[in-house]
Chain A
Amino acid sequence: MLKTYILKAFTAAALIATALAGPAAATEKTAFRMIVGEPRYMDPNLATDFAIYVNAQLFQPLARTDKDGNLVLLQAKSIDLAPDGRTWKIALNPDYKWSNGQPITAADWVYSWKRILDPKTGSEAASFLSDVENAMDYNKGTLTDPEKLGIKATGDFTFEVVTALPAPQFRAKLALPYLTPVPKAVVEEFGEKWVAPEHMLSNGPYKLVSRVNDQSIVMEANPHYGGKKPAIPRIEMTIASGDQCTAQLRAYEANEIDFTTCVPSQDIARIRQDAELSKQLDPFPLAATEWVQFDMTQAPWSDKRVRHALALAIDRQAIVTAVSDGTNRIASTIIPDSIPGGNSGDALKGSIEDAKKLLAEAGFPDGKSFPQFTLSTPATRERPLIAQLLQQMWADNLGIQMNINVLESNAFRAWVQTRKTEKYDIMINGWWSDYADPANWFGDLITADVRQNHFTNAAFAEIVKKADAETDPAKRAETFREANKILEDEQPMIALQNPTDLWMVKPDVEGLAHEGVLNMYHIGEAAFK
């Protein structure tokens, strides 16, 4: 009764105001509308967060990788690896021009990549060029001469990249959205302000027309783009902050935008049950895994039987159902099947009875005298819910008690970094493929111990080293598979789920496809029906 009164009052007021504001203009489809987060950087040399999705409409790398890991050339005319396995000879396609019509030269590419490595730039993308000769010494400041870097122009439209060692994974990195050119002359003239709409030159399908910070970004087709001309002439992005998924879905349902990149967990079931909306849902399984991990240097986690017991006592299906209405996929292994070397056949097998037995063998029958421990998790997305589910499952199945420590996401990241030297019990964490190569998982994630898991295994390290240098893709995958078996037997992390990105696309849009391990979208390749 009261509610309807209020609603009616507001509705009436809104109606009057709408009438005063005049009738809404009929929408003509010339612009692709969407909501994005505010890019921290529009500079492609600096952007490493979701800004790469905005930037991908403006800037383009040399190539893209297809499903089988082969390069599909874009800005490059050819990419050849010399017989030494270290020298990549790159010829540019001179059809591609900056958005003001000027040629994109090898000097722009070399300048851009050296700028990424320049410690003064402070770019997080530097790690993607770490294979390049002398790159890390230069980036860390121990080498100051950029001429010593293995990146050199060999002509107006040709350049060469030399890696320190034969690095087969560098092929996939050449397709990274971080490794685009920047217009040398413009960057040198305007410094950090070069990304302002009045100065910025881009080499991709669109150019930046206007940007109002935290409010809007507008792009229009780049008339000098060398690839297939975009069918959609204009992109209008509204900037959201905070819960972008909710803002996107509301705007999408109100027909204000053509595309959402995610669906809030609490709305997934409703969307999937809706006859119309469910057809517009476009899921994409990500090359990513979320897991719960141990501090391998601490008891009782250093005991493999304890790790196995905890792993076997988890009902992954229940987790996936609770957090994503079953749209995420259960992950029984850390490395996803889509990564060469990953194989869910290597997963740990056993029942809850086995788990109980293992825990008893480790000295904790029915969970008795098991130490009190804490699981730490960032307050992002569904992770606190996963923490509660684990708490319940382990209490029910093994009789062990766990505390949960939820940290704000930045605080969590900082906390994880300090775990390099400080001890912890367990935490929820995850990894998203950066580029389409197993080295990104076995090396960058596990061997480099970026998540402070402190997993060390001589045999594993040896095999990964061997696989890293292997240039034959089949043999490489086979060798990594050996490492995968060790990893799953050791269980330094218990894999839980592989997230799925849920896009929604309006029925009058076609050709908007998921691309690569980062799930990029390219509006330049889409069209209105």
Chain B
Amino acid sequence: MLFFLFKRILSAIPTLLIAYTLVFFIAHATPGSPWDSGGNRPMEPSVKAVLDAKYNLDKPLYVQYTSYLWNALKGDFGPSYRDRTQSVTDIVARFLPVSLKLGAAAMLLAILLGLPLGALAALTRHPIVDGIIRMISTLGISMPTYVVTSILIVSLGVGLGLVPTFGWKGLFTTSSLVPVFSLALAPLAAVIRCFRTSMLEVMNLDFVRTARAKGLKPMAIIIHHMGRNALIPAITVAGSYTAYVLVGSFFVESIAGIPGFGRYFVLAIAARDYPVIIGTTLIYAALVVLINLLVDLSYFLLDPRARLDQGR
């Protein structure tokens, strides 16, 4: 177990280094500079030169590459060009918690709704119930989040006036309803489909039949015998969505006006804010690595076979 952990953490280093290298060169290769946004007139070359010098953009690219990496290792992800009063660290500290809260709420909703619905879809023989559940899961997978968010805002916000159309007042306010629903829809659909499939597979296996024959209560069989065994694929799917949902969706946050990590990332790209683009990508990558690790660790808890495999 410890060896497994050690191995996984060690293998994260080249992953992050590759992510850094890619994002660094892609960001710098993107046409346009941080100083090309803004007003009516192009920036004076002399002003541009001053700003380039101030942020080391006048140095050769390999020097920028190594010096940023060195500073990042020391925990300094640089200043933001788009907002000179903030550093990347400030930005992460301010915007990531909003996305984390939103994502956690969305994942919670997806799992709490997804597992029972998935189980219900597998167990029920009622065509309408099965149909509705399948419809939700199909819609969730096929409708892009920006469409869902826009439809929800226009219908619930502009049409019915139930929720604000824009902005963020905290997780436990109506302003979080639309973004949480929109974010939850895709993982919800995935959890339903996945759990439904694996429940169907497990349903007719020998140990379930044995349990039934023993005269256990149906609920106990569903939860302890079927559910636990069917959970592993669903956890894997949920895990892969967790990274994407927690760090914030670009579309949902931009459309619903949520000052989160995802929206800031989009703004940074539009502004060619290199330190923010690189810093936030690195943090995103680190989170993905961490969450995948946690998902793998959860197998140990759920599946004795995994414990056995890795223990060797």
Q: Do chains A and B interact in one complex?
A: yes
- On A, residues with C-beta under 8 Å from B are 2, 5-7, 10-11, 13-15, 17-18, 21, 35, 38, 40-41, 48-49, 119-120, 122-124, 126-127, 139-141, 192-193, 195-196, 212-216, 238-242, 247, 250-251, 253-256, 407-417, 431-432, 434, 444, 450
On whether the beta carbons of A256 and B166 are closer than 8 Å, the reply is yes
CA distance A241 to B263 in the complex (A): 8
- Going nearest first, the 3 A-B pairs with the smallest beta carbon separation are A410-B32, A411-B31, A250-B165
Asked if B9 is at the interface (CB within 8 A of a chain A CB), the reply is no
Instruction: For the complex formed, measure the closest distance between the CB of A435 and the CB atoms of chain B, giving whole angstroms.
Output: 11
Residues of B within 8 A of A49 (CB): 37-39
Output the residue of A38, A192, A193, A213 with the most chain B CB within 10 A: A213
On whether the beta carbons of B266 and A18 are closer than 8 Å, the reply is no
Residues of B within 8 A of A196 (CB): 85
Residues of B within 8 A of A120 (CB): 50
Residues of A within 8 A of B83 (CB): 38, 40, 213
On whether the beta carbons of A256 and B32 are closer than 8 Å, the reply is no
On whether the beta carbons of A126 and B160 are closer than 8 Å, the reply is no
Contact code string B90-101 (vs A, CB < 8 Å = 1, else 0): 010011000000
Q: A11-B156, A247-B257 are in contact. Are A141 and B36 (CB under 8 A)?
A: no
New A-B contacts (13) at CB < 8 Å, excluding given A14-B177, A410-B32, A411-B36: A13-B177, A14-B162, A14-B174, A35-B257, A49-B38, A126-B44, A141-B46, A241-B267, A242-B263, A247-B257, A250-B158, A251-B165, A254-B158
Write the chain B residue with the least CB distance to A51. B38
Asked if B172 is at the interface (CB within 8 A of a chain A CB), the reply is yes
CA distance A216 to B94 in the complex (A): 13
Residue A18 contacts which of B39, B152, B163 (CB distance < 8 angstroms)? B163
Asked if B274 is at the interface (CB within 8 A of a chain A CB), the reply is no
Residue A250 contacts which of B31, B47, B154, B173 (CB distance < 8 angstroms)? B154
Residue B157 contacts which of A15, A139, A250 (CB distance < 8 angstroms)? A250
Residues of B within 8 A of A253 (CB): 158, 165
On whether the beta carbons of B254 and A242 are closer than 8 Å, the reply is yes
Residues of A within 8 A of B30 (CB): 411
Residues of A within 8 A of B152 (CB): 10
Instruction: For the complex formed, measure the closest distance between the CB of A525 and the CB atoms of chain B, giving whole angstroms.
Output: 25
Residues of A within 8 A of B33 (CB): 410, 414
Instruction: For the complex formed, measure the closest distance between the CB of B50 and the CB atoms of chain A, giving whole angstroms.
Output: 5
On whether the beta carbons of B166 and A251 are closer than 8 Å, the reply is yes
Residue A14 contacts which of B86, B163, B264 (CB distance < 8 angstroms)? B163
Instruction: For the complex formed, measure the closest distance between the CB of A491 and the CB atoms of chain B, giving whole angstroms.
Output: 22
- What are 20 A-B contacts with C-beta separation under 8 Å? A2-B135, A6-B139, A11-B160, A14-B160, A14-B163, A14-B174, A48-B39, A124-B39, A124-B41, A139-B44, A216-B167, A241-B266, A242-B266, A247-B166, A410-B36, A410-B270, A411-B32, A414-B33, A434-B40, A450-B41
Write the chain B residue with the least CB distance to A1. B135
CA distance A193 to B83 in the complex (A): 11
Asked if B259 is at the interface (CB within 8 A of a chain A CB), the reply is yes
Residues of A within 8 A of B54 (CB): 122
Instruction: For the complex formed, measure the closest distance between the CB of A173 and the CB atoms of chain B, giving whole angstroms.
Output: 14
Asked if B272 is at the interface (CB within 8 A of a chain A CB), the reply is yes
Instruction: For the complex formed, measure the closest distance between the CB of B138 and the CB atoms of chain A, giving whole angstroms.
Output: 10
CA distance A38 to B86 in the complex (A): 13
Asked if B195 is at the interface (CB within 8 A of a chain A CB), the reply is no
CA distance A134 to B93 in the complex (A): 44
Instruction: For the complex formed, measure the closest distance between the CB of B261 and the CB atoms of chain A, giving whole angstroms.
Output: 11
CA distance A14 to B179 in the complex (A): 12
Instruction: For the complex formed, measure the closest distance between the CB of A230 and the CB atoms of chain B, giving whole angstroms.
Output: 24
Instruction: For the complex formed, measure the closest distance between the CB of A481 and the CB atoms of chain B, giving whole angstroms.
Output: 24
CA distance A411 to B272 in the complex (A): 10
On whether the beta carbons of B46 and A140 are closer than 8 Å, the reply is yes
Residues of B within 8 A of A216 (CB): 167
Residue B174 contacts which of A18, A139, A415 (CB distance < 8 angstroms)? A18
Asked if B84 is at the interface (CB within 8 A of a chain A CB), the reply is yes
Write the chain B residue with the least CB distance to A211. B85
Asked if B244 is at the interface (CB within 8 A of a chain A CB), the reply is no
On whether the beta carbons of A215 and B156 are closer than 8 Å, the reply is no
On whether the beta carbons of A238 and B166 are closer than 8 Å, the reply is yes
On whether the beta carbons of A247 and B165 are closer than 8 Å, the reply is yes
Asked if B14 is at the interface (CB within 8 A of a chain A CB), the reply is no
CA distance A241 to B168 in the complex (A): 13
Q: A10-B152, A240-B166 are in contact. Are A119 and B50 (CB under 8 A)?
A: yes
On whether the beta carbons of A414 and B257 are closer than 8 Å, the reply is no
Q: A18-B174, A119-B46, A253-B158 are in contact. Are A212 and B259 (CB under 8 A)?
A: yes
Residues of B within 8 A of A410 (CB): 31-33, 36-37, 270-272
Residues of B within 8 A of A239 (CB): 257, 259
Q: Which residues from 28 to 68 on chain B have a C-beta closer than 8 Å to any C-beta of chain A?
A: 30-33, 36-44, 46-47, 50-51, 54
Write the chain A residue with the least CB distance to B94. A213
CA distance A434 to B94 in the complex (A): 36
On whether the beta carbons of B82 and A40 are closer than 8 Å, the reply is yes
On whether the beta carbons of B39 and A242 are closer than 8 Å, the reply is no
Asked if B153 is at the interface (CB within 8 A of a chain A CB), the reply is yes
Q: Which residues from 142 to 171 on chain B have a C-beta closer than 8 Å to any C-beta of chain A?
A: 152-158, 160-168
Q: A11-B160, A254-B157, A410-B37 are in contact. Are A126 and B86 (CB under 8 A)?
A: no
Instruction: For the complex formed, measure the closest distance between the CB of A500 and the CB atoms of chain B, giving whole angstroms.
Output: 17
Residues of B within 8 A of A444 (CB): 41
CA distance A253 to B254 in the complex (A): 19
Instruction: For the complex formed, measure the closest distance between the CB of A21 and the CB atoms of chain B, giving whole angstroms.
Output: 5
Asked if B255 is at the interface (CB within 8 A of a chain A CB), the reply is yes
Residues of A within 8 A of B160 (CB): 11, 14
CA distance A411 to B31 in the complex (A): 5
Asked if B284 is at the interface (CB within 8 A of a chain A CB), the reply is no
On whether the beta carbons of B161 and A242 are closer than 8 Å, the reply is no
Q: A2-B135, A238-B257, A410-B36 are in contact. Are A215 and B43 (CB under 8 A)?
A: no
Residues of A within 8 A of B40 (CB): 431-432, 434
CA distance A429 to B142 in the complex (A): 38
On whether the beta carbons of B155 and A7 are closer than 8 Å, the reply is yes
Asked if B129 is at the interface (CB within 8 A of a chain A CB), the reply is no
Residues of A within 8 A of B166 (CB): 35, 238, 240, 247, 250-251, 256
Write the chain B residue with the least CB distance to A118. B50
CA distance A274 to B149 in the complex (A): 25
CA distance A104 to B5 in the complex (A): 63
